[in-house]
Structure 1
Amino acid sequence: MTSSITTLRALLAATIFFAAAPSWAENVLYRGNAGEPTTLDQHHTSINIEEFILKDLYEGLTLYDAKGVIVPGAAESWTLSKDGLTYTFKIRENAKWSDGSPVTAEDFVFSFRRAEDPKTAAAYANILYPIKNAEKVNKGELPIDQLGARAIDAKTLELTVERPTPFFLELLAHQTALPLSKASVEKNGADFVKPGVLVSNGAFKLAEHVANDHLTLVKNPEHWDAANTKLDKVIFYPLEDQAAAVRRYEAGELHVDYNFSADQLPRLRQQFGGEVHVSPALATYYYTFDTRSAPMDDVRVRRALSMAVDRDFLANEIYKGAQQPLYSWIPPGIASYGTPEKADFADKGQLDREDEALKLMKDAGYGEGGKPLTLEIRYNTNPNHERVATAIADMWKTTFGAQVSLVNLDVSSHYSYLQQDGKYSAARAGWTADYADAENFLSLNISTNKTFNYAHWKNADYDALMAKSYDEQNPEARQKLLHQAEAILMKEQPVAPFLVNNDLWLVSKKVQGWYDNANNQHLSRFLSVSN
């Protein structure tokens, strides 16, 4: 009798426990993002703050899995012609938009045409230039219906490329290649991005967007793989103030936080141990010089300024070892490229560099006994960038007697300023590889790249080498051309690479399914939160 009563009590207790357990509760992921997205129109975005959100909302033909490996997305399969020029994609039969309508090949054709239509002025139109006629369409030289994209039937898409492109499947996972619902865009115009209007085909759909406060995504039940999406909701917080973001993480208000201040690395490692992720990336931290006017139109000035920057100090004192010094434009780690081309002063000691820099600056007519050197450094608001700018300003003042002023803007305004031809002398920028190929870095500085050639640099030899590399089919010969182009870039220094970036994340122990990867791809659909 006593045994039966005890058993009954145990069963009742268990029933009460499980009734009170959070198994029925929503599985919500709280993500700290490094700023407010400029837009949710994929054709007008260019930075990862927007990418993280867009790739939760939309799904391209291909996508990166949890480990950063390219896998099928909205396309379940594809074939490639023997000449390497024609891709035929089979869109999943059960791929649907969040409004229940089918995702079609025509949606992708519409999206690619919109990206290359010069009227769209897509920030990243060049990423799809490997598609046949894309560059000519984007420059207004051909009508958009001449783009090498066509719907064979509702679920079969054919893409033709200008030349064999080894990294084409990675390009199709880029945010610019994410599809749009043709019906929604044609019906709603620019309003298609608004909550309650936006139609997406990814694992989540947009529920709410309060600018500069939060952005809420909810699970998309129409997604073809919805059964394997464990999260019910993802809330992004635009936290440009890194100290505030860390405090919110410490308070348990965030499960994930991106890009904390590097000087906090030792303390955070001591406090959170394995929750601190320092993930090596194919990413360059650099300064760009506006070559359109003096003094930055003089290669001697650019080289002198670059030489005077103590990269070891930046890496070890400001970033506490979270970044590494860099003297090449392309970061190490691209297997197909090999060892990057370093600037010719890379192997000299810092004192020797400064002596040579002084001579170059004097020859250019600036500094002691010459014209005064007045410079402006622009950077996007961020404690790390502010410390770097302050340190570099001091180095230039100490070495050359330069008068240096600092100007900072929020991240969206900063890059908009650079992309809209704003005048400056030196500006902070960064580049993270869209795909693991040296061309992705070198193409930024082609004179015709109006979006990312912030320096407005023009070099005919460089342009010719890059043009030739696009036509070269032999991999070894192609890499040789790219190396020659990088050597010119590092000699001319329109851009001064300073650091190899690492991605800095705080990831709660409650988060399951997280894998560090060089592509910095962490789609929420692969994550879950334990209570």
Structure 2
Amino acid sequence: MPMRARSARPWLAMLALLLACGLSPSAASAQGKLLKRGNGPDVETLDPHKVRSVSAGNVVRDLFEGLVSEAADGRLIPGVAASWQISDDGRIYVFSLRADARWSNGEALTAADFVYAFRRSLSPATASPSAALLAPIRGAEALMAGKGSAEHLGVSALDDRTLQIELERPTPYFPGLLANSVAYPVHRASLERERAQFTRAGKLVSNGAYVLDEWALQSHVRLKRNAQYWNAPAVAIDTVLHLVTEDLNAEFQRFRAGELHITEQVPAQQIAAMPPVLKRQLRIADYLGSYYYGFNLTRPPFQDQPGLRKALSLAIDRQIIVDKLMGSGEKPAYGWLPPGIDAASSQRPEWASWSRERRVSEARRLYAAAGYGPQRPLAVQIRYNTHDYHQKIATVIAAMWKQTLGVQATLYNEETKVFLQSRRERRYTQVFRASWVADYADASSFLDLLLSNNPRNDTGYANARYDALLAQAANSSGAPRGELLAQAERSMLDDTPVIPIYFYVTKHLVAPTVRGWQDNALDHHYTRDLDLAPASP
């Protein structure tokens, strides 16, 4: 088949902990260039096929590399694949792997490693939360459903250095999917030998710019430069510490004390009072991410109660949240797709243009129609993972629901791993805090999250029409595809399985000694692209 070529191309209290992490000046010099990054909550896994959180994704991108990677500005660039070709009908991709691609143990990385990795990602036994990203591949949906054979998956090794992937249908954004961790290779021998322990320090064999040196729970992940990485000479940072920084104010103070080069976030109240010298180090940029609340639709009180769910959505004053709590350029969210998604314009419900008074009136009407009122107030639990912002937002939303409708909300905060498990199992959750950041710059990255068969759909939302519209869109292109996606979003917003609250911006403090940092819409910043200049005297 004809092919067209695509080119390759409170800080004192933590002093003992910081010393243990190798942050003393002597330790830093012993480790060469040492970059210290705030990374938010603790990572839940270092298995690239099981990553769910932003914090884990940040670390795994340093440890592994897929066929396709990303430049510092977010552009797609060749990764393990030096180049690729696409058939004229857009269904067959042939990737030529780099001759010097190796695992961190020195073994050659081959096309067969990718065949194994794709089969593992899509196997129901793996339970990969991102497996659906690979659905465009021929046979992937059947394999995910436990109905297909791995041998029939459209991924094959033509030889050690040539990998072919056949798609069910043309998918123009497919290369972007391959930059996601679900498409990263894993080292088969060490995984099968070590099983659940294969991601531990001393056992993890990876292929990215860094290797795992230490993983201390609720403290840090330390990585060392991978001498076997194909582009190792271009990697300037010798050691990187991804530090757990759930307390944003403590993270901020650590940055001010020179104990961090990069923060994961910046508290809004600190931005307002920030001195000029720090403001020059502040980076705020648009981000393809949404902060939202999800409902557990598999049990009462929200099962089969779209009116009640809509009442709670209407009762939230998003403008107050973005202005008073966030205050860094975040935008109130009424639809599901954030600004910047290249598709049909993001849909907004009719009530988004209503006055606050009209919204409150309609919320009270729907609340009463669902059987609730002063004599029978709704009692609901709001769950969120431990984090300053999440607690503040939950407190404000609970107060809005109480004042507007009389809802009695109880707040529960949980450690991140416990929280994510609670969401997945849906046994205790009623309303839960959530966020979604695009895996790639297309509307499907958001809309597919709420497909009935998506393992990351923690709401349990299942709407046959919604599923069908997205299936049709997957087989369409151009304006027809855009209209199908718009219809799907409108249908979902009518059902209100989630409450969009605001669209993110990224907020980082980046020390002036850091070189190579570029803002990008996905907020992916690979340590391999960064360097440290000597500190000013």
Q: Place the TM-score, normalised by the shorter chain, in its bin.
A: over 0.9
- Indicate conservation of the 8 Å contact 1:380/1:408, yes or no: yes
Cross-structure match for 1:178: 184
Contact 1:262 1:322 in 2 (8 A): no
Q: Could you tell me how far apart the structure 2 residues matched to 1:454 and 1:358 are?
A: 27
Q: Deviations over 1:296-352 (max 9, x none)?
A: 1211101110001000000000001441111111111113x1421102210001111
1:364 aligns with 2:380: no
Q: 2:466 aligns with which of 459, 462, 466?
A: 462
Aligned match for 2:85, one of 71, 79, 95: 79
CA offset at residue 295 of structure 1? 2.8
Secondary structure in 2 matching 1:346: helix
1:151 pairs with 149, 157, 163, which one? 157
Measure how far apart 1:469 and its partner are.
Answer: 1.2
Cα separation, 1, equivalents of 2:424 and 2:226: 34
2:37 is aligned to 31
1:318 aligns with 2:322: no
Aligned residues of 2:80 and 2:98 also touching (Cα < 8 A)? yes
Q: Which residue of 1 aligns with 2:15?
A: none
Find out whether 1:503 has 2:509 as its counterpart. no
Q: Distance in 1 between matches of 2:276 and 2:291?
A: 27
When the two chains are superposed, the root-mean-square deviation of aligned CA atoms in Å is 1.6
- Give yes or no for contact 1:344–1:491 (8 Å, CA) kept in 2: no
Question: Aligned partners of 1:25, 1:468: CA distance in 2, in Å?
Answer: 53
- Counterparts of 2:482 and 2:468 in 1: how far apart (Å)? 14
Once the two structures are superposed, the pairs formed by residues 470-489 of structure 1 within 5 Å of their partners are 470-472=474-476, 474-489=477-492
Deviation at 1:293, TM superposition (A): 2.7
Q: Report the TM-score, using the length of structure 1 for normalisation.
A: 0.93
The answer for the alignment partner of 1:278 in structure 2 is 284
**Following TM superposition, where does structure 1 have runs of at least 4 consecutive aligned residues deviating by more than 6 angstroms?**
22-25
Write the mapping of 1:183-198 to structure 2, written as runs, cut at 5 A.
183-198=189-204
Q: Which position in structure 2 is the counterpart of 1:351? A: 357
The alpha-carbon deviation at position 152 of structure 1 amounts to: 0.5
Equivalent residue letter for 1:465: L
Distance of 1:386 and 1:445 partners within structure 2? 25
- 2:128 and 2:48 mapped to 1: Cα distance? 9
Code of the aligned partner of 1:303: K
In the alignment, what sits opposite 1:395? 400
Whichever of the two has the greater Rg, that structure is: 1
Kindly report which structure 2 residues correspond to 1:100-499, keeping only aligned pairs within 5 A, or say none. 100-268=106-274, 270=276, 272-297=278-303, 298-335=305-342, 337-369=343-375, 371-449=376-454, 451-472=455-476, 474-499=477-502
Given residue 313 of structure 2, which amino acid in structure 1 is its aligned partner? S
Q: Could you report, residue by residue, the CA deviation over 1:477-504 in whole angstroms, capped at 9, with x for unpaired residues?
A: 1110000000011111111101011112
Amino acid at match of 2:429: Y
1:9-45 alpha-carbon deviations (Å, 9 max, x no partner): xxxxxxxxxxxxx999711111111021111111221
SS in 1 for 2:77: strand
Gap regions ≥5 residues in structure 2: 1-27
Task: Check the 8 A contact 1:512/1:529 in 2, yes or no.
Answer: yes
Instruction: For 2:263 and 2:415, locate their aligned partners in 1 and report how far apart those are by CA, in whole Å.
Output: 18
Cα distance in 2 for partners of 1:161, 1:265 equals: 47
Q: What is the distance in 2 between the residues matched to 1:82 and 1:299? A: 45
Counterpart of 1:302, as a letter, is R
- The answer to whether the aligner puts 1:525 opposite 2:528 as a matched pair is yes
Q: Secondary structure at the match of 2:302?
A: coil
Counterparts in 2 of 1:268 and 1:481: CA distance versus 1, 3 Å: same
1:512 corresponds to 2:515: yes
Cα offset, 1:189, TM superposition: 2.3
Q: Which runs of 5+ in 1 are unaligned?
A: 1-21
- Superposition TM-score, scaled by structure 2 size: 0.92
Q: How far apart are 1:220 and its partner, in Å? A: 0.8
Number of residue pairs matched by the alignment: 507
Q: Distance in 2 between matches of 1:261 and 1:419?
A: 29
State the secondary structure of the residue aligned to 2:353: coil
CA distance in 1, matches of 2:501, 2:314: 10
Give the partner amino acid of 1:95.
A
Change (3 A) 1:166 1:181: same
The more displaced of 495-504 and 258-267 is 258-267
Percent identity between matched residues is 37
